[in-house]
Chains A and B, each alone.
Chain A
Amino acid sequence: MIRIAFEKSSTAIYMSHLDLMRCMTRALTRAEIPAKYTEGFNPHLYLVFAAPLALGITGEREYFEIKLTEDMAPEQIRQRLNATLPRGLKILDVFEAENDFNEIESADYRVFIEGKTAEDWNRFFSAPTIPTEKKTKRGMETVDLKAEIISCRAEDTENGVVLSLHLPCGNRKNLSPLLVVKTFAPNEETYYTAARCAFFDQKGKRF
């Protein structure tokens, strides 16, 4: 299993997860990487992402995995892909995977929210519970942000607040930083940026 670390920024942040999968599939084709296809009537490229990244969020170090049908040096894969990716996507490194994406438990996010202060956040976060509506497969559900957020820190900057959020991420439990933003700053005109910085396993070990 070959793991590929990449960055998603600039205009590429407006790609949805599905768009990104299509984009990477085509990039692997263009770069002539000997990537393995699934068997069956409707074969498609074997391609697994660590965790979907919502449209609009920057990914500082995201991952996907492929299987190879013949050997190719990691550095060659990196260079070939980087020569053919659209603006905002960049391969950081390529290596043999030593663990499984299923082990991902949490992720770090950095969120900037314009016009808000650390004090605003601390007041917001000091409430005993912070109920909010979350869209799930079963419909809308009420969740308690306070209980879901693993840890957080707020710092003032010139024109807003920067939140460092540690949130559950992965198959078992997941919380989008955008839900935090929408609950904290519900005005739809509020300008924000969000980035996912790192993934962690259950023991807090960085991916």
Chain B
Amino acid sequence: MELERLLLRVKNPAWYSGGELNSITKDKNRVKTRFAFCFPDLYDVAMSHLGIKILYDILNRRDDVWCERVFAPAPDMEGLMREKNIPLFGLESRDPIKDFDFIGFTLQYELSYTNVLNMLDLAGLPVLAAERTDDMPVVIAGGPCTVNPEPMADFIDLFNIGEGEETLLQLVDLWQECGGNKREFLEKADRLESCYVPAIHDRKVKVRRRIVKDLDRAPYPEKLIVPNAKAIHDRISMEIMRGCIRGCRFCQAGMIYRPFRQKSPERMMENIQKLCQSTGYEEISLTSLSSSDYEQLPRFADLLLDYCTPRKINLALPSLRIDNFSEELLKKLRAVRSSGLTFAPEAGTQRLRDAINKNITEEDIFESCRIAFQGGNTAVKLYFMIGLPTETDEDILGIADLAQRIVDYYYQLKTKKNGKGVSVTISLSTFVPKPFTPFQWEPQIGLDEIHRRQQLLKNAITSKKIRLNYHEGKTSVLEGIFSRGDRRLGKLLLTAWKKGCILDAWDEHFRYDLWMEAMTECSIKAEDYAGRRYAYDEELPWDVVDCGVSKAFLIRESKLAYENKTSPNCKEKCLGCGVKSICGGDVCDPNCL
């Protein structure tokens, strides 16, 4: 076969060969609907993503549906595919996806948008929805970025907003009912609560984000595909909960995944046993936005450790919050194996931490460090952001100061092992205003200002024990443009992609110069999108979507930020964010927590 002739010429042939354990092959003549699940990035990133695993499983549980995986090829493979006229294919069947019924993209980050265009083009399809004919596949999109569908509206036939576990199957049913008539399907689908067909949708009708009410009852895979070539997160992901009780004002995930829902330890142990048996993985990662808010964590940790320790399975527990980080839990986790500790204070001063509603105090930070150091850890990684609303130079210098005091604290403790120094790593990112957050109206700082603030921090760090990692800043500007963008950005995406912009999330492929050229040609300025303060009363591009949280709530929170006032979390007090309107009130009632 033609593909085999090319695979030995590319760097990572296993990314395109298929044949992995637990990948699903069906007889194409015995299925009614073929679905290409596309993750618009490279294999090792895509295969680390949990959502695709859940939806792949749900679709393939149906005998009449065959869902395959499709990822963005690396440039070496893309070059050969274009040269030899090999259209983009499903990894399971190697059939061209242009002959499938559905092509579904998951939009996880803005910097993957050009990859969507590139993949459609590689499939042999027009990238613009308007230019695709009725006999071509329905191109749908979901994932967190679709809460603002507008920048991608020119390219996607249908957006499915929210959690896809139930709605994806409804769409397949509707497609089968319509006998594959795309026009009829799109018209009917647009009337479904969670669907948005940009070509025909009446903007007065709000599209409501769909949620799964009971995670225990939602399907979870019993098998996971085990990649032949290592994925970035090559392990079992166990989703312990969805949503977050915290209301950090910059955090989109904390708003758009509401309400807070937990899975029961029993159900998860059931999932984990099956997954361990079917994959043989040596590591389990508990995934959530804030693992330590899981109410039955101590009990669950015991159950997990009882299962994992004799089997030599590691536990990874990311997203532990600094404030309720428990000593006992750390000890337990260390009983298996542990990597360094990571915390996210996000801001360097208490004033700014209050303004962004990151309810962490300095005492919390030092208490966590004490536990970590006394437990034998010497490496601490801290996540911070620059460019947060109300930030001053004092806040930035506060980051360096805090890091220095952590270093000093380590040496004061006198628990340090001989010859072992402390290492504090500051990982610095740039604030990007995101839809459906209290900071959705805020301007992003410009590139020069990003550089100035990065430099300011860099110069303030004197200790060799402190390492500062940051990203140059150009990609943040682009994220800022697209996260709050409108439909006019379709032209920019198209222009940039035509100039050769792809894989923008990868330093070695990101071409800011080409993006600048494209912006000039399209008369689009960063200042009009990322750099602009949007007005409270202005019609926002994403107003067509109802995520659950109300604008009134977001405005209240936004104003509190300017008073440096924190808000209680959902467990302490219901703030009336509005999410009850989509979950019926029976899920997020604080009494149920």
What is the interface of chain A, defined by CB distance below 8 A to chain B? Answer: 10-12, 14-16, 18-19, 22-23, 25-30, 37, 42-43, 55-56, 84-88, 188-189, 191-192
Once A14-B14, A86-B20, A189-B9 are accepted as A-B contacts, the answer to whether A25 and B228 lie under 8 Å apart by CB is no
Once A19-B14, A29-B280 are accepted as A-B contacts, the answer to whether A14 and B228 lie under 8 Å apart by CB is yes
**Closest chain B residue to A181, Cβ basis:** B8
What is the interface of chain B, defined by CB distance below 8 A to chain A? Answer: 5, 7-9, 13-14, 17-21, 226, 228-230, 276-282, 311-312, 337
A-B contact pairs, 14 of them (CB 8 A): A11-B19, A11-B228, A14-B7, A14-B228, A14-B229, A16-B229, A19-B229, A28-B280, A29-B276, A29-B280, A30-B279, A37-B312, A84-B21, A192-B8
Q: How far is the CA of A188 from the CA of B311 in the complex (A)?
A: 46
Q: How far is the CA of A192 from the CA of B280 in the complex (A)?
A: 34
Interchain CB contact under 8 A, B21 and A12: no
Measured between beta carbons, the chain B residues less than 8 angstroms from A30 are: 277-280
Closest 6 CB pairs of A and B: A11-B19, A26-B280, A87-B19, A29-B280, A86-B21, A30-B280
Once A29-B280, A30-B278 are accepted as A-B contacts, the answer to whether A15 and B312 lie under 8 Å apart by CB is no
From B5, B8, B229, B279, contact of A56 by CB (8 A): B8
**Closest chain A residue to B6, Cβ basis:** A191
Measured between beta carbons, the chain B residues less than 8 angstroms from A191 are: 5
From B229, B282, B337, contact of A25 by CB (8 A): B282
Interchain CB contact under 8 A, B17 and A14: yes
From A11, A25, A192, contact of B18 by CB (8 A): A11
Q: How far is the CA of A64 from the CA of B276 in the complex (A)?
A: 23
Once A10-B19, A189-B9, A191-B5 are accepted as A-B contacts, the answer to whether A15 and B277 lie under 8 Å apart by CB is no
Q: How far apart are B30's CB and chain A's nearest CB, in angstroms?
A: 20
Interface centre among A12, A28, A86 (most CB of B within 10 A): A86
Interchain CB contact under 8 A, A23 and B279: no
Interface centre among B8, B17, B278, B311 (most CB of A within 10 A): B8
Interchain CB contact under 8 A, B14 and A15: yes
Interchain CB contact under 8 A, B13 and A43: no
Once A11-B19, A14-B13 are accepted as A-B contacts, the answer to whether A86 and B280 lie under 8 Å apart by CB is no
**Closest chain A residue to B20, Cβ basis:** A86
A-B pairs under 8 A by CB, number: 66
**Closest chain B residue to A37, Cβ basis:** B312
Interchain CB contact under 8 A, B226 and A19: no
Q: How far apart are B433's CB and chain A's nearest CB, in angstroms?
A: 41
**Closest chain B residue to A88, Cβ basis:** B19
Q: How far is the CA of A47 from the CA of B337 in the complex (A)?
A: 21
Measured between beta carbons, the chain B residues less than 8 angstroms from A188 are: 9
Q: How far is the CA of A87 from the CA of B23 in the complex (A)?
A: 10
Q: How far is the CA of A188 from the CA of B79 in the complex (A)?
A: 14
- Would you call the interface of chain B mostly helix, strand, loop, or mixed? loop
Q: How far apart are B315's CB and chain A's nearest CB, in angstroms?
A: 15
Q: How far is the CA of A97 from the CA of B507 in the complex (A)?
A: 49
**Closest chain A residue to B228, Cβ basis:** A15
Once A23-B228, A55-B13 are accepted as A-B contacts, the answer to whether A12 and B280 lie under 8 Å apart by CB is no
Interchain CB contact under 8 A, A27 and B280: yes
**Closest chain B residue to A15, Cβ basis:** B228
**Closest chain A residue to B83, Cβ basis:** A189
Q: How far is the CA of A32 from the CA of B314 in the complex (A)?
A: 18
Measured between beta carbons, the chain A residues less than 8 angstroms from B230 are: 18-19, 22
Once A37-B312, A85-B21, A86-B20 are accepted as A-B contacts, the answer to whether A15 and B229 lie under 8 Å apart by CB is yes
Interchain CB contact under 8 A, A26 and B226: yes
Measured between beta carbons, the chain B residues less than 8 angstroms from A43 are: 312
Q: How far is the CA of A40 from the CA of B8 in the complex (A)?
A: 39
Q: How far apart are A154's CB and chain B's nearest CB, in angstroms?
A: 21
Measured between beta carbons, the chain A residues less than 8 angstroms from B280 are: 25-30, 84
Measured between beta carbons, the chain B residues less than 8 angstroms from A42 are: 337
Q: How far apart are A109's CB and chain B's nearest CB, in angstroms?
A: 15
From B13, B282, B311, contact of A26 by CB (8 A): B282
Q: How far is the CA of A154 from the CA of B337 in the complex (A)?
A: 54
List 7 additional A-B contacts (Cβ < 8 Å) besides A23-B228, A86-B226, A192-B8. A11-B228, A15-B14, A19-B14, A19-B229, A22-B230, A23-B226, A30-B279
Q: How far is the CA of A18 from the CA of B229 in the complex (A)?
A: 9
Interchain CB contact under 8 A, B20 and A56: no
Measured between beta carbons, the chain A residues less than 8 angstroms from B9 are: 188-189
Interchain CB contact under 8 A, B14 and A26: no
Interchain CB contact under 8 A, A11 and B17: yes
**Closest chain A residue to B15, Cβ basis:** A14
Q: How far apart are B274's CB and chain A's nearest CB, in angstroms?
A: 12
Q: How far is the CA of A98 from the CA of B23 in the complex (A)?
A: 38
Q: How far apart are A204's CB and chain B's nearest CB, in angstroms?
A: 31
Q: How far is the CA of A204 from the CA of B7 in the complex (A)?
A: 34
Q: How far is the CA of A170 from the CA of B233 in the complex (A)?
A: 33
**Closest chain A residue to B234, Cβ basis:** A22
Q: How far apart are A20's CB and chain B's nearest CB, in angstroms?
A: 9
Measured between beta carbons, the chain B residues less than 8 angstroms from A189 are: 9
Q: How far is the CA of A15 from the CA of B14 in the complex (A)?
A: 6
Q: How far is the CA of A40 from the CA of B7 in the complex (A)?
A: 40
Measured between beta carbons, the chain A residues less than 8 angstroms from B21 are: 23, 84-86
Measured between beta carbons, the chain B residues less than 8 angstroms from A16 are: 229
Measured between beta carbons, the chain A residues less than 8 angstroms from B226 are: 23, 26, 86
Interchain CB contact under 8 A, A12 and B19: yes
Interface centre among B13, B228, B229, B312 (most CB of A within 10 A): B228
Interchain CB contact under 8 A, A26 and B229: no
Measured between beta carbons, the chain B residues less than 8 angstroms from A11 are: 14, 17-19, 228
Measured between beta carbons, the chain B residues less than 8 angstroms from A12 are: 19, 228
Q: How far apart are B352's CB and chain A's nearest CB, in angstroms?
A: 40
Measured between beta carbons, the chain B residues less than 8 angstroms from A37 are: 312
Q: How far apart are A193's CB and chain B's nearest CB, in angstroms?
A: 9
Measured between beta carbons, the chain B residues less than 8 angstroms from A84 are: 21, 280
Measured between beta carbons, the chain A residues less than 8 angstroms from B229 are: 14-16, 19
Measured between beta carbons, the chain B residues less than 8 angstroms from A88 are: 19
Q: How far is the CA of A159 from the CA of B7 in the complex (A)?
A: 20
Q: How far is the CA of A10 from the CA of B226 in the complex (A)?
A: 17
Q: How far is the CA of A27 from the CA of B228 in the complex (A)?
A: 12
Measured between beta carbons, the chain B residues less than 8 angstroms from A192 are: 8
Measured between beta carbons, the chain A residues less than 8 angstroms from B17 are: 11, 14
